[in-house]
Amino acid sequence: MRSAPFRDYNSIGREEEDAAVRVIRSGVLSAFYGSNSEKFYGGPNVQELEADWKAYFGMKYACTANSATSALCTAVGAIGVGPGDEVIVTPYSMSATATAILMFNGVPIFSDIEDRYFGLDPAKIKKKITDRTKAIMVTNLFGHGARLDEIKKIADDHDLFLIEDCAQSPGASYKGKLTGTYGDIGVFSLNCHKTIQSGEGGVLVSNDPDLAKKAQLIRNHAEAVIGSGMEVKSLVNMVGRNYRMTEIEAAIGIEQLKKLDSLNKKRQDLCGHLNEKLANMEGIIPPAIQEDSTHVFYVYPLKINRKRIRISTELFAKALLAEGIPFQKGYCKPIHLLPLYQKKTAYGDKGCPFTCPFYGKEVEYREGDCPVVENLNENELLMSGIITPPNTIMDMQDVVAAFEKIIHNQEGLLEHE
């Protein structure tokens, strides 16, 4: 049994401290103006972070925001989602992935995942497409890309927008391309829980000049800017917000982006060790990695083969914790099962957008609609965030030992089921 706790991850160092101090001493904590001026695009640190992000991901445009949630909302607004539109989305993600669709009165249509890389199942996406489908929103979950080449082809074949939620996969590649660069828009997170962070923050990337301009407008009071020399092809969704990033967040983000590859490499080394050792244990299925792709391990997700392992994932997680190894059962409740969707209550008490007359359809969110994700979350998935520096290979050895002990002592544990 392990007695010492695993050490907490902290990606912030002296470089970020110095960057924040420079901004504070400058006296300019934000330089955005909500008007058509040179400051519409923010201050020097915001613009430098956007330039660095474009360069790293090889994209033409980048637009920062005060959170990845805000960036997702901006992305949905930029592609023109509105009342009556449907967006196909994963049920396995942070809730904001789907609520971003609701923000513009679109209707989320949840499509099941595949249980290898935990992304949307391309075959099931096809069955969800209707004449109201506007876009597909895919999440590259846990640090690995979804089947992005197949999903991109479906989007192109049906003239749909593709948005990638890459909050958990910055720097990961899928079949030779970085996640976030397959879709019309890719969204990244700088939230405090992520591999790189600025406390809060998000970044949107695109190669489409019209989408990028709309994103910049939605971020910064579009309605006050349009008509003063800054025009767009359409006024749809040009009701602006204040989604602007501060100069301190941007300055920290600049330094964090420089560290992304090295921080990812440390996670990959720790998880590579776990993968090698756990793959030899009967009933344990380590995370899969697509050929010609990389996994950046936001967390470490593995599956239990219930035909080989007789104890439940809940009991397995409790047994690991008793050995000093914090794993949890599942990831999060599938989004379609949350009360908002079960009750279909979002805006006011009239059922909008689900009963919006512009939609004119009946949408149902039922248990059993997404059987793969529901079974995975309830019966197969274990995950942990202990695979980060400053933890070491020696720490991972304790994880391996705990798994071995539990697997060899299932009979005794079954008495506690």
Write the pLDDT tens digit of every residue in 71-113: 999 999 999 999 999 999 999 999 999 999 999 999 999 999 9
Give tens-digit pLDDT for 344-401: 999 988 889 999 899 989 999 999 999 999 999 999 999 999 999 999 999 999 999 9
Residue 83: the pLDDT is 95
CB-based contact 211:187 (threshold 8 Å): no
CA distance 117 to 121: 10
Give tens-digit pLDDT for 323-341: 999 999 999 999 999 999 9
Peptide bond into 286 cis (omega under 30): no
Structural domains for the chain:
14-256 (3.40.640.10), 260-331+373-414 (3.90.1150.10)
Residue type, 410: Q
> For the residues of 282-334, what is the DSSP string, one character each?
TTEEPPP--TT-----SSEEEEE-TTT--S-HHHHHHHHHHTT---EESSS--
CA distance 210 to 187: 17
DSSP code at position 378: I
CB-based contact 17:246 (threshold 8 Å): no
CA distance 49 to 42: 11
Give tens-digit pLDDT for 168-219: 999 999 999 999 999 999 999 999 999 999 999 999 999 999 999 999 999 9
Is the whole model's pTM more than 0.85, yes or no?
A: yes
- Please, what sign has the CA dihedral across residues 98, 332, 242, 345? positive
Show the 3-state SS of 100-127. HHHCCCCEEEECCECCCCCCECHHHHHH
